[in-house]
Structure 1
Amino acid sequence: MTKRTKEQQALLDQLKQVAQGLGETLAPFCEVVVHDLLDPKHAILAIHNNLSSRQPGDPATELGLARIADPQYQQVIANYANQFADGRQAKSTSIGIKDSSGQYIAALCLNVDLTLFRGLQSMLGQFGSVGAAAGVTESLDPISADSIRERIDQFAARLATTPRALKATERRALIRELKEAGCMEMRRAMEIVAMHLGVSRATVYSDAK
């Protein structure tokens, strides 16, 4: 690990405070991460609203390594497409932090979980749609993993939150709703629900009782 100057340490300390404030403001749908580029093998210095399941001490990303290698690398990269390990779509912004010598020492990264907004978009589209005539609507599509995820997203959107931020009582209400819709009869439904909620299958089984 590179020895830090007083200036570099002060910048890192202040950046952690900025990250905490942003994390509290943008909860629960935006992950805020501070990367210490002076220690790339253990770069994650702080993480708020953890959506990616990473931990402090985890290594730098490819973007962090690129900044370490090239002080002229773009300092602000905003709103680029990204993806969490479980497949959830994200929108990310990365801001490089330099010391007075022009060396990159840190990065502040924001990763927005688009699940909530996609759910809201789906609900608004449904609300604004019109049919040729009033009557009973019916779907002939079989229940699929995507339809289960979509129902979960819509449930969370109604509560203005994300699937992974649902409280235990809200999860149980969701499971009841899925059972009533016949979604839990699908093969591997428990596993699909658990992965999308970011909980264990045992938790889903318990919530389903």
Structure 2
Amino acid sequence: MKKLSAEQQALLEQLKQVAQGLGETLAPFCEVVVHDLLHPKQAILAIHNNLSGRQVGDPATELGIARIADPEFPQVIANYANQFTDGRQAKSTSIGIKDSSGRYVAALCMNVDLTLFRGLQNALNQFGSVGSAAGVNESLDPAGAEAIRRRIDQFAARLATTPRSLKAQERRALMRELKESGCMEVRRAMEIVAQHLGVSRASVYSYAK
């Protein structure tokens, strides 16, 4: 492994402290990752609020490789569209860190899971609704995947949580509600539910029993 200079080592150590502070401040909505761009095959030095499933020692991303190859690569790329491996939409910001020679040493990356904010928005909408029948008479077309996702979001909102944070007993109640509403008649309904909850199809089948 390439030996770091004292300056480069200090930059990485300080960046790890910055990442820890950001991670604690932005938890649980934002993943914060420190990349060592001098060792791209084992680039990830630290990861906080792990939303992507990556681990310390994992390799650099395509963006990291691009920075390594080009010292003129933009130092800050903010709020660009990204996607986790399971399809969740994300908003990302990447900040490159250079040493005194102008070489990229590291990168600080932040990835926001937008599905968490969609769940939070639904919870706020539920909280702000008025009338005893708010939400009860809404008619959702059970013919498509989006109808299932909307109903799951609404169920989670009533519990002031997100679909991926539902507990086992809440998931069982959700499955009963989906079945009663006719949503489970949709083609590939089990797969749609599993993806939106972030669980396996086998788990969904067990909750449906």
TM-score class, shorter-chain normalisation, is 0.7 to 0.9
**Residue in 2 aligned with 1:194?**
194
**2:90 aligned partner, one-letter code:** A
8 Å contact kept, 1:76–1:95:
yes
Q: How far is the alpha carbon of 1:51 from its aligned partner? A: 2.1
**1:204 aligned partner, one-letter code:** V
8 Å contact kept, 2:156–2:162:
yes
**Residue in 2 aligned with 1:63?**
63
**Structure 1's 24 and 67: CA in aligned 2 closer, same or farther, altered over 3 A?**
same
TM-score normalised to the size of structure 2?
0.80
**Residue in 2 aligned with 1:132?**
none
Q: How far is the alpha carbon of 1:13 from its aligned partner? A: 2.5
Q: How far is the alpha carbon of 1:112 from its aligned partner? A: 0.9
Q: Separation in 1 of the partners of 2:163 and 2:57? A: 26
Deviations 1:144-180 (A, max 9, x none): 2222222223334445544333333443343333233
Mean alpha-carbon deviation: is it higher for 102-111 or for 160-169? 160-169
**Residue in 2 aligned with 1:150?**
150
Deviations 1:51-74 (A, max 9, x none): 223333222122111211122222
**1:153 aligned partner, one-letter code:** D
8 Å contact kept, 2:8–2:99:
yes
- For structure 1, the residue ranges without an aligned partner over 5 or more in a row are 130-135
**Structure 1's 166 and 21: CA in aligned 2 closer, same or farther, altered over 3 A?**
farther
**Structure 1's 154 and 105: CA in aligned 2 closer, same or farther, altered over 3 A?**
farther
8 Å contact kept, 1:31–1:48:
yes
**Residue in 2 aligned with 1:133?**
none
- For structure 2, the residue ranges without an aligned partner over 5 or more in a row are 130-135
**1:114 aligned partner, one-letter code:** L
Q: Separation in 2 of the partners of 1:32 and 1:139? A: 39
**Structure 1's 141 and 120: CA in aligned 2 closer, same or farther, altered over 3 A?**
same
Q: Separation in 2 of the partners of 1:70 and 1:197? A: 40
8 Å contact kept, 1:156–1:162:
yes
8 Å contact kept, 2:141–2:147:
no
Correspondence 1:141 to 2:141: yes
**Structure 1's 142 and 154: CA in aligned 2 closer, same or farther, altered over 3 A?**
closer
Correspondence 1:114 to 2:110: no
Percent identity reads 83
**Structure 1's 182 and 22: CA in aligned 2 closer, same or farther, altered over 3 A?**
farther
**Residue in 1 aligned with 2:133?**
none
Q: How far is the alpha carbon of 1:127 from its aligned partner? A: 9.1
Output aligned runs, 1:7-86, within 5 Å. 7-86=7-86
Q: How far is the alpha carbon of 1:138 from its aligned partner? A: 6.3
Deviations 1:172-199 (A, max 9, x none): 3433332332323333222222222222
Q: How far is the alpha carbon of 1:111 from its aligned partner? A: 0.9
Q: Separation in 2 of the partners of 1:163 and 1:198? A: 8
**Structure 1's 60 and 188: CA in aligned 2 closer, same or farther, altered over 3 A?**
same
